[in-house]
Structure 1
Amino acid sequence: MIPEQNQSWVSEFILLGFSSHPTTNSILFTVFLLIYLSSVMGNGLIIMLICMDTQLHTPMYFFLCILAMLDLCYVTTTMPQMLVHLLAKSQTISFAGCWLQMYVFGALGVTECTLFVVMAYDPYVAICYPLHYTIILNWGLCRQLAAGSCVCGFLSALLHTFFTMSLPYCGPNKVNHYFCEGPSVRSLACMDTHLIEMIDLVLSAFLIVIPICLIVASYIHIAMAILKIKSIQARCKAFSTCASHLTVVTFFYGPASYMYMRPNSSYSPERDKQMALFYNAFTALLNPVVYSLRNKDIKRAFLKVMCHGRVH
């Protein structure tokens, strides 16, 4: 017989979201719907252009296409449900649904963390080893790196989700968040979670600090190689190639580092919801904009589609 303290009495959670006022919720629904649709359209357009234009069939755009797919899935994991809850009277989510949402959200987030490292490797090889670029970063390696990012994300998220959802939840069941985010759900557990919080902090530090260090190391080598270039125009072009990636990395890792690498004493539900919204929804919206505005190849492919209806 299973001991009573190990049983889970909570069968569903209530997601409090951002507001309980109907008028405010209606305004938020309109704003978040526009953000979500813009994110879907922007990332969908990036995916379509890269798939259709053979000139974009390079490692750089292969990884960018995967990033757009991840962003599309990432924002869809939380936003549609939040939009429904903003208009519906019921804001509940089943225990199994909460478990699944937490797992998929974490898996996609870690996969994106790893993919940013892979995307930093592309300009590193292109700038530091230009003559051996196609040999080093061949299609076989590209597929392996992409698959490795996914495996890393989905396996590591399994640990995080298991530690959180295996805790006993006997009430209350109100989660002060707009989705099933780990620390917010874990705060409702009917036991001391200090040890699990420490394990989760170590995992988060491992999954955030190591990728950041690898990205920084790549760009140090890139900067050293660029500074050896005599032509100022060539230097500017090389730095411009890296600017988009550095911008989206900052947008993603900044809020994520704050959320998952801080002491629990600084936990603030309202501030954390805003930060989560930024790295979940706004990064998915901004990434296509950043890459499109600074990328002549994407602009060229888009103009071909608009003018001719297809890309050769």
Structure 2
Amino acid sequence: MSVAAGEPDDVQTHKAKGPVIKRQSIWTRLTHWVWVVCLFFLLLTGLQIFNAHPSLYIGQQSGFEFDNSVLSIGAIRNEDGSVSGITRIFGQQFDTTGVLGWSGPEGQERPRAFPAWTTIPSYQDLATGRVVHFFFGWILVGTMFVWFLASLINGHLRRDIVPTGRDLKSLPKDVADHARLRFTHTRHYNVLQKISYGVVLLVLFPLIVLTGLSMSPGMNTAWPWLIEVFGGRQTARTIHFGVMVLLVGFFVIHIAMVLLAGPLNTMRSMITGKYRIDAETGDRS
């Protein structure tokens, strides 16, 4: 999974082109695209599952007698007879009519946490959503294992994911360069890439898998301690949802950086493995 660092295409035209190198291994490229497919289906089926009970809580239990909701999405009927979509976050209420809580084609609106176009299936079908969600969830787990093993063997994990002390010293400069949209094409990832990919691959991916497993009755029987680690089923569900939001945020930034860094060069590196670096960087390792 890679956002290649580089100048936007219209900025780098005045620069001398450097050599084309082999930057991404076949394992990095294959697992990257499998993750893209998995996360797409996991997100849309996850929202389908969330719609069945569109509230999140902290603690072991939930229900009308508990006041531990941190997020809820629903609809209310106003005094004039109209209906509004309402989202409550930590006690603060927001009108989200047409997007969250109450949505649909004009004249056919209905109470629904996330709109039909954001879920698989588009209609409310919890059973199908769960089957598809679990299917791609296990593919994600298997791909994570393949990536981790291959990255240990070929050095990708040590070289490109875990930042070194030298990398961390360059962090302020790298942040400043990115803020000014000044990027460089180099053989290896910059420190911001290493930190972001490290957080996603070594923290968020395992966390979303483990919180998902902790909500499974079968896993509760096999590993009863897992649900306790996350403070109860409802807390695990809330963490699961929160990690999903963070992954969506990462994806948005990921795409933005691809476009800014030169999409053709970046996409080529994730399809063929070949990547053109800046001439002034040469073959610097």
Taking structure 2 as the reference length, the TM-score comes to 0.35
Structure with the larger RCO, 1 or 2 (CA within 8 Å, 6+ apart): 2
Kindly indicate which of the two structures has a greater share of residues assigned to strand: 2
Structure with greater proportional helix content: 1
- Structure 1 length as normaliser, TM-score? 0.33
